[in-house]
Amino acid sequence: MPHKEEVEEPAEEFTPELYPPFPDDIPTLDIPTITLSKLLEDDAAEQDRVFSACVGRGFFYLELGGCEAGSTILSGAEQIARLGSRVFQLPLAEKMRYKQAHKQLFGYKFAGSSVTDKAGTPDTAEFFNVAKNDMIVPDAEMRRPWPAEVLESKDLFAAYVRSAHAVGLKVLAVLAEKMGVDPGEFAARHRIEEPSGDHVRITRGPPRAVKEMPEVQTPSHTDSGSDQGKEQIQTPSHTDFGTITILMNWLGGLQVWSESARKAHLSNGQPDGPGEWLWIKPKRGCAIINLGDAAMRFSNGVLCAGRHRVIPAPGAQGEWPRYSIVYFVRPEDSCLMKKFKVQGAPESSEDEEEAITATEWIFRQSSALGNKLDD
Ligand SMILES: O=C(O)CCC(=O)C(=O)O
Ligand SMILES: [Fe+2]
């Protein structure tokens, strides 16, 4: 056994205190800031604002300060990112011991496991998807192995999961009420103890490979198939498959498509209509919340899932490896994907998806995207 002082600690990779500011000369999307503590106090004006954000773009900042669940997310995300940076610095062979099993979501996703365009360009992001259900049960009941770093911090993950899940469900309850849907509808489809695809995703994207930012890309550039000026894609264009996502990031890199996902469909991995990618500036003290496909499905299209992607951070920020901590609230595995009944509205038409479970539905969504079970 080596002496303690001989064991080399990996260099700290997650260093938010050192990041340069987000540039102020690039096209960003302004999204509203909703205050979590006001939602928790049932503030009517804040409820209206969150509903209008979710009917519109499906993206908003959530100010987390001033309440316990928010503080747990704020401090927990930093602790999880620090822990994640130690896991990502393990040798690849060690990380591959935890790799996602066939058709399975949880565990390690290596960089390059999915393609970002029709030329087959690989993605560059690594993920560690830590299952909600394994973190909130005794060790003996866990369904798969986890790295020692995760197991040693199981209480941290459990507290994070409970807070993020509660915050997601609070937002969903507000939306249900605004739509004239029984607020218990969302709660009944997302019970925390039930098996589901919910997970804490730790993401790492490498620094920008080239110093200069390539020009803003439009779908017509991509179709040329040329590598000239091509953006490095960490996570390609997608809408999240689940119901609601609570995202914490510190560096830019997240981009949202300028047109609503209601209009822009995907073709060759890119939105098929006119528009552009707009940056979302990370905001201190705030999570970024976005709705996923299941929210759109349950609400019969009233709520909108936001189309987004991740590229290296802009400007000098791009010189840092990029971390984010994402919590996905998804319907329980056995939940049927039935649309909500809206009080006072005529019944919406039944379709063949009414009878399928969330597990099957998410698998179909994922196959349609042409990748494995990545969000
Ligand atoms: O890293 C981010 O900022 C977003 C990540 C994301 O969209 C995802 O993992 O689904
Ligand atoms: Fe996403």
CA-wise closest residue to 259 among 241, 281, 237:
237
CA-240 nearest atom, ligand 1? 10
Q: Is the pLDDT of residue 374 over 50?
A: no
Measure 58 CA to ligand 2 centroid, in angstroms. Answer: 12
Give the ligand at the shortest distance from the Cα of 105.
1
Question: Which residue has a Cα nearest atom 7 of ligand 1?
Answer: 309
Measure 375 CA to ligand 2 centroid, in angstroms. Answer: 6
Task: Give pLDDT, residue 266.
Answer: 61
Is the Cβ atom of 235 under 6 angstroms away from ligand 1? yes
Is the Cβ atom of 126 under 6 angstroms away from ligand 1? no
Question: Which residue has a Cα nearest atom 1 of ligand 1?
Answer: 324
The whole-number average pLDDT for the span 9-32 is 92
Q: Does domain 17-368 have CATH number 2.60.120.330?
A: yes
Query: Residues 183-225: pLDDT tens digits?
Result: 899 999 999 999 999 999 999 999 998 766 555 444 433 333 3
Task: Give pLDDT, residue 355.
Answer: 84
DSSP code at position 248: E
CA-253 nearest atom, ligand 1? 3
Q: Is the dihedral of CA 180, 165, 252, 370 positive or negative?
A: negative
Q: Which amino acid is at 105?
A: L
Task: Give pLDDT, residue 227.
Answer: 40
CA-wise closest residue to 330 among 168, 174, 183, 217:
168
Question: Which residue has a Cα nearest atom 3 of ligand 1?
Answer: 254
The whole-number average pLDDT for the span 39-63 is 96
Q: Which residues contact 174 (CB under 8 A, 6 or more apart)?
A: 39, 47, 50, 51
Task: Give pLDDT, residue 1.
Answer: 47
The whole-number average pLDDT for the span 67-77 is 98
Task: Give pLDDT, residue 30.
Answer: 94
Query: Residues 98-140: pLDDT tens digits?
Result: 999 887 899 999 999 988 888 889 999 999 999 999 999 999 9
How many whole angstroms separate alpha carbon 204 and alpha carbon 321? Answer: 7
Q: Which residues contact 368 (CB under 8 A, 6 or more apart)?
A: none
Kindly report the pTM of this predicted structure.
0.91
Classify the complex by whether its ipTM is higher than 0.85, answering yes or no: yes
Question: Which residue has a Cα nearest atom 10 of ligand 1?
Answer: 375
The whole-number average pLDDT for the span 84-91 is 96
Beta strands in the chain (DSSP E): 33-35, 59-63, 107-109, 126-131, 199-205, 235-238, 244-249, 254-257, 266-267, 270-271, 277-279, 286-291, 308-310, 322-329
Query: Residues 325-352: pLDDT tens digits?
Result: 999 999 999 999 999 987 766 676 767 6
Residue from 234, 288, 308 whose mutation best tests the ligand 1 pocket (most atoms within 8 A of CB)? 308
Is the Cβ atom of 326 under 6 angstroms away from ligand 1? yes
**Mean pLDDT computed over every residue of the chain:** 88
Measure 308 CA to ligand 1 centroid, in angstroms. Answer: 8
- 278 with 256: CB under 8 angstroms? yes
- What confidence tier does 230 reach under pLDDT thresholds 50, 70, 90? low
Measure 310 CA to ligand 1 centroid, in angstroms. Answer: 6
CA-wise closest residue to 291 among 174, 192, 193:
174
Q: Is the dihedral of CA 254, 324, 116, 269 positive or negative?
A: negative
Q: Is the pLDDT of residue 5 over 70?
A: no
Q: Could you write out the DSSP letters of every residue in 269-297?
A: TEESSS--EEE----TTEEEEEE-HHHHH
Residue from 235, 244, 291, 327 whose mutation best tests the ligand 1 pocket (most atoms within 8 A of CB)? 235
